[in-house]
Structure 1
């Protein structure tokens, strides 16, 4: 799979047709009256056409005399580009069957008077997206200087047939790149004529942090600490409230994509509150990927969404500030498996493993001495209790501190080799346990895993002034 950053230009273009809007109070956007939120038809944007490579571009006047009236040349099967994730068989069928342009199929479906089998228009962010079309909308929190405020692109593929609304979000932390590519690939590979339901993608939620390659908002606040937000609170709380009410509450389920933070990396995994039946059911639809129980700390997006009735999980994969093909591929497969299982698309991604474990408990191993870390294990390794995980050496005194596994399990997250200080999270171990153990323990007892691969510090390691970064979700 080729990784492309060509989407950055279109996403940040100044000629977005969607008008920017004021930050909204925490209400469902679709319930707004016309006087409060004027609605206008959204311009259809052929997302599949946008991903064409330069050498595959279609000559504008390449229309043939045999084409049906009203069909553009670049929509004919002879020049169709196979989208990422589409099989070679699909390409062969397109080349050997009677040409039926996608746009004609979409129109035919929309015109059939079959009532509930035809999707209704989607009203969102002040725009109405017609069934069987895709669009680029924009969300503007409107809490920065008006002269430099920039709209955040929101990609929408609204299927010709009814179905659930799935939201994909990435880069709530601006330095986490893998999720951006997952959202781009998934959204730009969907043909709305074949989709049942709606897929809403926000590749870069924290646009200001992304521009600065920073995890944080410009005021150094972590956006993933303030959901569902407050329209009269801090800048971060207002941004969170605007996004939550304008986008998240318009959806039926949410997949929030992240990576490890602060020079840490995560095995591709789902973080989910497995005590929530709707969330637990969602994880079962996402294919062969490790699942780790975590209720999520207050203020993180997935917890706020679930508490608001929108089942949500986090996909953690890889490390920040770097695009990693394996992590991206795993994320794409998991999302596409969900869309297939929900009956929204026919994708059926191939998984090397038929099943991955569910870890109802996990434990972080922290450094007890300062120095430079050299790991002896890798992500995904299974370790026994007492196994050597890594060594911390002091470059001045040449002292050595071994880090041993306190329990048997699997390495699902770890720090990269780096300078460590006492209390730094070094290794995240998934424990082999059962759902019965999860049900029998207190609600907060197992909730020690934060979204970024950090957990609450053990009492013996709590410093006088706790470094807030060690407690943050990713």
Structure 2
């Protein structure tokens, strides 16, 4: 008999514990109204717009827990007079002004709140544990709504100019004044970057495997992971590249000028050369455009070196694009516009030897002008490379040893004057419509059949060259392209 009360008490306690446990478990698993969007950890605001420096850690005050210093710096900042006046006006009328609120950006398993700058990590999981590090992804989500612009660099691991360009752009954005979000991936091909190589460790070119295949080669799997986890979150993309195999490029944009949204992007870079090219099969640019995301390639400089002129030009162009998309305030940079090139061709070495150039990058040339010479170091036989067209040197080989057939000079054939876009003032107000179209309509664009012209767009006619005897140049071939 004495045990019965204890058993009854124990049974009641057990039932109560089970009830509390069930309630607690339900509260922990309860998520948002949309079951397809589970809660994600909130990303830390690292304030990328402010310079950072390593500082020695100071010892904590005795008897005071970490993180509770009680200094004046921890006090909340005073409200600005304009903000106070705005709140007072809204409360007086009782009808605060309606304004669309920026939304958190969900990316790579994290949620980036508005007015936040942070670093995330992407890993394709195609390596042994501990052999490679995760790839850093810089994110700045603005305080105001707007499009999401993505910057990708070092898809080829030996191309350094894009890495520095992404750093300068991302670390100088102010989240509080940004409309939309900017995602920057400074080093996509971390495997190649570690080895100073253009290619992945399996000797494949990552920029020939997009959008990728989850069951394909290592390169195809990496491309598939990056395309689905990062690229598909973008409304527009700028893919940064340099020349390949000791070639250097004049800062230039490459894009499919048959796509109206791509054309609008190219007009937002200020005074930058534009070259029509739909991109080789498997490039990020081509795969993204086919997925409805307007994308351009920004080529500048040579591999394995950091060129201040190329980096500065690229940074200015991207900042101007941000303004054109209505993401930052008015930003004037440029003067006269650069021409558009709808055709280009590669002048190749006919023999092997040491090449020495006689022209400068960006120089205008006429048919018959001497571009450079190739000298056999054994026989001292010298062969000249002369331009077959009137045009401009958009890319060229650095002085080096070359083999027969090496693509040495990239000559752009200028379009007629009526096809060159006139200069326009770059303002946030004038760019509002463009930003809305890219943000809302880029992913809804209907794909065009192969070889078909987009609706309501005149076919591109490059027009005859100034020399009537000039043969029609060939378009850029995949083997000569750098991106």
Q: Give the TM-score band, short-chain normalised.
A: 0.7 to 0.9
How many Å apart are 1:422 and its aligned residue?
1.0
1:131 matches 2:114: yes
1:447, 1:280 → 2: CA distance?
22
Q: Structure 2 vs 1, CA of residues 398 and 349 (structure 1 numbering), >3 Å: closer, same or farther?
A: same
Asked whether the equivalents of residues 294 and 447 of structure 1 are also in contact (C-alpha less than 8 Å), the reply is: no
Aligned to 1:85: none
Query: 2:289 is matched with which residue: 295, 301, 306?
Result: 306
Partner SS, residue 150 of structure 2 = strand
Partner SS, residue 312 of structure 2 = helix
2:185, 2:273 → 1: CA distance?
24
1:143 matches 2:152: no
1:333, 1:61 → 2: CA distance?
42
1:170, 1:378 → 2: CA distance?
26
Query: 1:384 is matched with which residue: 363, 366, 372?
Result: 366
TM-score by length of 2: 0.74
How many Å apart are 1:285 and its aligned residue?
1.0
Query: 1:211 is matched with which residue: 194, 198, 209?
Result: 194
Partner SS, residue 360 of structure 1 = strand
Partner SS, residue 41 of structure 1 = coil
Q: Which runs of 4+ in 1 moved over 6 A?
A: 60-64
Aligned to 2:40: 39
2:114, 2:206 → 1: CA distance?
33
Flag structure 2 segments of 5+ consecutive residues without an equivalent.
Answer: 1-33, 59-66, 85-94, 420-457, 464-471
Cα deviation 1:333-379 (Å, max 9, x = unaligned): 0000000111111251423x421011011111001111111100010
Partner SS, residue 339 of structure 1 = helix
How many Å apart are 1:114 and its aligned residue?
5.8
Asked whether the equivalents of residues 344 and 474 of structure 2 are also in contact (C-alpha less than 8 Å), the reply is: no
Aligned to 2:387: 405
How many Å apart are 1:433 and its aligned residue?
2.3
2:239, 2:35 → 1: CA distance?
26
Cα deviation 1:387-435 (Å, max 9, x = unaligned): 0011111121111111101011110000001111111001011102245
1:415 matches 2:415: no
Q: Structure 2 vs 1, CA of residues 186 and 32 (structure 1 numbering), >3 Å: closer, same or farther?
A: farther
Query: RMSD over aligned Cα, in angstroms?
Result: 3.1
How many Å apart are 1:61 and its aligned residue?
12
Partner SS, residue 368 of structure 2 = coil
How many Å apart are 1:149 and its aligned residue?
4.1
Mapping of 1:220-369 within 5 angstroms? 220-346=203-329, 348-351=331-334, 353-369=335-351
Query: 2:460 is matched with which residue: 434, 438, 463?
Result: 438
Partner SS, residue 460 of structure 2 = helix
Aligned to 1:80: none
Mapping of 1:112-127 within 5 angstroms? 116-127=99-110
Cα deviation 1:213-258 (Å, max 9, x = unaligned): 1111111111000000011111100100000000010010000000
Partner SS, residue 237 of structure 2 = strand
**Which has the greater radius of gyration?**
2
2:387, 2:133 → 1: CA distance?
47
Partner SS, residue 328 of structure 1 = helix
2:118, 2:98 → 1: CA distance?
24
Aligned to 1:10: none
Partner SS, residue 269 of structure 2 = coil
Aligned to 2:7: none
Count of residues in Structure 1 that have an aligned counterpart in Structure 2: 383
Asked whether the equivalents of residues 350 and 405 of structure 2 are also in contact (C-alpha less than 8 Å), the reply is: yes
Q: Structure 2 vs 1, CA of residues 446 and 183 (structure 1 numbering), >3 Å: closer, same or farther?
A: farther
Asked whether the equivalents of residues 157 and 190 of structure 1 are also in contact (C-alpha less than 8 Å), the reply is: yes
Partner SS, residue 142 of structure 1 = coil
How many Å apart are 1:99 and its aligned residue?
8.7
Asked whether the equivalents of residues 394 and 410 of structure 2 are also in contact (C-alpha less than 8 Å), the reply is: yes
Partner SS, residue 303 of structure 1 = helix
How many Å apart are 1:311 and its aligned residue?
0.2
Asked whether the equivalents of residues 364 and 392 of structure 2 are also in contact (C-alpha less than 8 Å), the reply is: yes
1:168 matches 2:151: yes
TM-score by length of 1: 0.75
Asked whether the equivalents of residues 180 and 203 of structure 1 are also in contact (C-alpha less than 8 Å), the reply is: yes
Aligned to 2:26: none
2:52, 2:173 → 1: CA distance?
14
Asked whether the equivalents of residues 339 and 415 of structure 2 are also in contact (C-alpha less than 8 Å), the reply is: no
Bigger drift between 338-347 and 387-396 goes to 338-347
Partner SS, residue 155 of structure 2 = coil
